[in-house]
Amino acid sequence: MSKPQDIIREAELMAAEAIGDVIEHWGFRRVLGRVWTVLFIAGEALPAAEIGDRLQISAGAVSMSLTELQRWGVVRRVWRPGERREFYEAETDFWKMISRVFDERERLLTESVRERLERAEELLRRAPDSPQVRVSLDRVSRLLAFVKLAQTALDGFIKSRTVDFSRFGDLVRFPLRAARRPRV
């Protein structure tokens, strides 16, 4: 029979791989998701060396990952009295993490798309009138309206940190607020 600690490590690695896949799909480095997951599952601050041991990655990869994760605000350094080593813990508030990524990445993208569509629309408005120009102008204007709607929704999401999941009923019972630590 396996020891509880062995089972926890196996589950931790399985979860780290799964979250690594998601993070990579979103355009981040896979190791960032793996490092964050180990810290999240641990439920306590860990030193960098232990993170590396658990994931079997180099000290350099751990250091670079922790630096980037701190920049994104999803991992923070914590100090333990009497310890010389630095410890790290994961942010547990999913909304806080998602909001920050949306705010920094998606807002820049939607702003860039909106500006270019506005320039394309203006260019078509100045073009000599023709059936093809009218169709193109209509299509670009529709794209622009959609992007503006998406920007408004994104801004609302970031500010309110809420999404209405009620129409999904019992399918959605997911703790998006900060995870509570189990009582020991």
pLDDT 10s digits, 19-71: 999 999 988 999 999 999 999 999 899 999 999 999 999 999 999 999 999 99
Q: In what order do the strands lie in the sheet with 87-90?
A: 46-47, 87-90, 75-78
Residues 87/78, Cβ–Cβ less than 8 Å: yes
With a cut of 80, say whether residue 167 has pLDDT above it: no
For residue 66, the model assigns a pLDDT of: 98
Domain residue spans of the chain: 4-90, 94-171
Residues 99/107, Cβ–Cβ less than 8 Å: no
Average pLDDT on 131-146 reads 94
Residues 99/176, Cβ–Cβ less than 8 Å: no
Across 1-15, 114-128, 149-163, the highest mean pLDDT is recorded for 114-128
Cβ neighbours for 38, distance < 8 A, ≥ 6 positions apart: 12, 16, 46, 51, 54, 55
With a cut of 70, say whether residue 161 has pLDDT above it: no
Question: How many C-beta atoms lie closer than 10 Å to residue 51's C-beta?
Answer: 24
With a cut of 60, say whether residue 171 has pLDDT above it: no
Q: Which of 110, 94, 112 is nearest to 174 (CA)?
A: 94
* Residue-averaged pLDDT of the chain: 86
- What are residue 75's phi and psi, to 5 degrees? -140, 145
Q: Copy the structure tokens of residue 15.
A: 């979860």
Report pLDDT digits (tens) over 63-97.
999 999 999 999 999 998 898 999 999 999 888 88
The hierarchical CATH code for the domain 4-90 is 1.10.10.10
With a cut of 70, say whether residue 174 has pLDDT above it: no
Place 165 in a pLDDT band, splitting at 50, 70 and 90: low
